Each structure stands twice: as C-alpha cells, then as structure tokens.
Structure 1
Amino acid sequence: MKEAELSPHKQSHSRGTGSADVVGFYDDDTGSIQYLVSDPQTGKGALIDAVMGFDPAHASIDPQGVSKIIEYARDTNIDISWILDTHPHADHLMASWYLKQRLGAVNAIGEKVRDIAELWRKLYHLPDAFRPERDFDRLFGDGETFKIGKLPVRVMLTPGHTLGSVTYVVGSDAAFVNDTFMQPDVGTARADFPGGSAGQLYDSLQSILALDDETRLFVGHDYGTDSRTEPAWESTVAEQHTSNAHIGGGTSKQNYVKQRDARDKTLALPDRMLHVLQMNLRAGRAPEPESDGKRYLKIPLNRFPKETA
C-alpha cells in the first residue's frame, strides 16, 4: 500500500472558557475529515470519525494515517479518552477498534447502530454477524450527555444519511455534524443508502440550524468544488442558514427532498462501501479468522444494481 495520505491539519482554536480546541485532519483518499477535539483546561480529548487506511483494490488495511494523529496528540499533550463515531461509514474504514486496542480509550456511537446492523445482517445474509454491544463501549441515545474533560457533550440524533447518524455538540460552540451539512458552497450529504431518507435529513438539518448562530459546524466530508480546490470543513450555523447551496434562505422540505432525491440517483456507490460496512458494524474490526488463520469479507452480488439510462 502507498504511503498514508494525510493532509496537513487545520486548527480551530477555543474561543474561551467552555469552548473546545479542534484540529481537523483531511484524508485524501476518501475526502473524509477526522477530528481531534480537546478541552484546553484539562488536556483531555476525543477523536471523532477517525479513518483507518483501506485499499479496496487489494483489500488491505493500513494504520499509518491514524497513527500520525496519535503522534500529534502526544506531541501536543492531548490525552485521548474518547473514540467517537457519528455513524457506520460507507466510504471509509473506521479506526475505532484499532484505537480502542492501542489507546485503551472508550469507543462509542449512536444507539440506533443496532437498527443499522439489523438491516445489513439481511443484506449480507449474515444473521449472527453484528453485535454493537460487544464492539462499542457506549451506545448513545438522543439527548444523552457526557464530558470530554470538563467540556459537556450532548448527543443529537440527526438521521437521514443513515437512520442512526448522530451529531456531537461539544462545549459552548462546536458541533460535529457528520454527513448532514457539507460546506455551504456544496450543500448537503446524500440520503440514498439503505435506511436513508431525504425527508429525515431535511428535519435533521433544521435541528442543527436551531443551534446558536455562532456555533462552529464541522462536516464529515469535503471534496472541493470547481472554484475551490482546497478542502475546507468549518462553517457556522449562520453561514449555513444564509448560503447553503441546498437549503440556504429557507428552501421548503418538499423542494429539498425533490432535489436531493434527484441528485442521489446520479451518484455511484462508494468504492469501499460493501467492504467496510461489514467491518464498521463491528467498530472497524475485521471478521474472525477462518480455519486457515485468514480473515475474509463477504460481498453481496447484485443487491445494488447500477442504474442505466
């Protein structure tokens, strides 16, 4: 596998008491942003949506990228106490299990991962494959709270991209909004994966827009645009409310669903999806070795036929 591709980080500094320091690390292979969020007062931190390297052509796994983030945390005296994911990702391999073994930190995700696991047990025809209670230490319910150091964190259920996606609202002014919003010049995330819903996504977007205007919003992905080649991942509620390409200025739910569904019909499946979901529903852990000592993935055939014009 090639050298891990991890773009230079960008930092969003704490605004004062009760506000988190946030560092975003861009994964070039998948356009994913992984976040190191920390409490400046205590030095305690969390990794959100950390990416394990995965090469779909060779079905090979590589921890180099996430290892560099661990090194950064150590160099800046951040003690990672939480490993958080917003949902079982379809476009990258979760590093949750690897980080849990390496750091001994608590790993967590939203509790509706149970429902997502049930859906994918049927699609993979693996009735006994996924047990989220075994692979995650915490399964958060909507409205549940915990702390990163002294910073309070509130969990918001924000479904649509998946039926169990959650947003983490950290401290006084930061929200990690997963695959709901993208940058204002791009719009919003897709909602066509199994269990997804454009209508639910619209409602989730509105719940995020109900946060304070100056809340920093940290998105799950960015791919740039024709006019913006550098990846970006921070905006505010006010910016999204005013200028989001899909819902800025008050797009109705009916119009949003119509345009989101039409756009999603043009999108191909992520090239890693059928590989990584089989592991992500185990917190990124590969299936158990078989009798030859090797691990194998099961890929369903013709369950997601490519649409033709």
Structure 2
Amino acid sequence: MPEVPEMEIYKNYLNQWVKDKKINCANVYRAKSVNLESKEFCTTVIGKQIKGILRQGKYLIFQLDDGHFLLTHMMLDGRLFLMTIESETPQENGVSKAIALQSEILQSDAEDLKQRFKDLPGKASVVFGLSDGSVLFFCNLTLGYLHYLGQEQLETKLRELGKDPLDPNFSAQNFAQLLEGKRGMIKPWLMNPKNISGVGNAYSNEALFSAGILPTRLISTISHLEKVNLFNSLVNCIRESIRLGGDMEEPFASWDDFIGGYNAYFKAYDRAGKSCLVCGETIRKSEVGGRNAFFCPHCQR
C-alpha cells in the first residue's frame, strides 16, 4: 500500500506534469470508484483546470479552478500512470496528434487499454485526458476512490486524520505528548491514521527498527527519550525514502526510472529470514494487530 513517501512522490510528479492543465475529457470505468453517477462525474470535471496537487497522509488532493477538489486514496493496489505526448507520439506530430490519440484511448474499454498499453500498472478505473494531450490513469481503485468534493466536504473528511509526519508544525515533543497515557502496542498505534496519518506497514516497521523498539512493545513502557527517538526515526526514514524513490514497483510514466528506488534499502520490512544488517541476527516476522511485523530480536527491545 502506498504510504507517505510514495504519495509525496506522486504529488511531486503531478505538480510537475499535470498542474495547470485542463481536463479535456474523462471516462469512469469503475462506477464505485467515484462518488457521483459516472456520467455526472465526467460532465462535472470536464473543462476544469487543475490548479495544484496537495497531500495529506495517504490522500492526494487535486485543487480545481471551480473551488472544488478531487480527493483520491489509493488504498492497497491503486496506482497512477501518466501517458505523455513524448511517450506515445513523435515530437513533430505535436499536440493535435496526441489529442486524437487521447480521444481514441478514452473511448476504449478497460480490458482493451490493459492489453494495448503494457506499462499500465493495472486496470483503468478512471481516466482523464488533459489539455496538453497527455492521459492520466487512475488504476486499480477497487478499494480506493476518486471523489469530487466541496470545501466543507473535504475538511470534514480530512478532520478524521491525525497529524502528518512531515507537517513542519508537528514536532517530536508533540508526538511524545500524543503517546502519553495511551495503551496497547506501539505498531498498531503508529498505523492508525487517526493518530498519525500516512504511516502503514512498511514504514512503521522501519521506524521501529531504527529506533530499537519492538513492534509489540507496550506504549506505557516507552520512555520519553525513546518516543522522541522513534519520531525522529520515522521522519528520517520517510524523507530518505522520498529522496530515493519510495518502494512501489510500478512507474509513474514510461520514462520513470525513479519510483521504487528505496526497495533495496529496507532494513527490516519484508526481510524475514535474512540477516540483520546491523548485528547479523535473523530478522523475524510475526503478526501484530492483524499486520505482519518484521523485527530484529537483538536490536529491538
């Protein structure tokens, strides 16, 4: 599941390639992925300009020029893919050729698209044709969604979220205060979006490993200094993953060789049975709060 680093990378790509473009055409291939009737959704978003893209936790927020927003959550399998002019049409053909191809694409069905474009990271759920001739695919939104919301609706939805770990106004001291008086194990608490938004299985495992804290450790036994260390470990891990490309395997576009660059740098997550890179002990896996926990029994206490 994409977490803060992967969604931040998506946000950066979208602001580079999609910002200020208009939605020329749209098609909904999976009706349950949107919050309006499919035709109404398309009619509503067509002609709107994308003024910018924000991120809050695992959510991406497309700001539209009509004062509304498109809120998307990838959930487990959702992915984005951008088909640019350069990737599909020779430069000399220009935007007009791309627009013609764009129209053809949006009239195809989802299975045809999947067969025709091998780079697509899954089955198209919603597709936008943009004013420069590029095509933005929202794929595999089986559990995820793309909702058209007003300001009040958006604020209500985001009000459910805890602090974003990259919020400049959120400090290690704030984090430690949030944990005061809390019960239960630390890993499930970290993954609860009402506590901290955008942290999932991968980066909770990595942060706990880096901080030397077992995922099963009771919050009540964690000292103030350990809480501060855990926050710093979490933020550092997230920032390093963003710098290196995150851990998704599917590229954002055919030219994208950046996404997925962090895969080789995980120290605990998904390394069960392998040697700890710090002490040489075998990394173990157990189930904590219904999710897999990866840890070193020597380095974490």
Higher gyration radius (CA):
2
Higher strand share: 1
Higher helix share: 2
Smaller-chain TM-score bracket = under 0.3
TM-score by length of 1: 0.24
TM-score by length of 2: 0.24
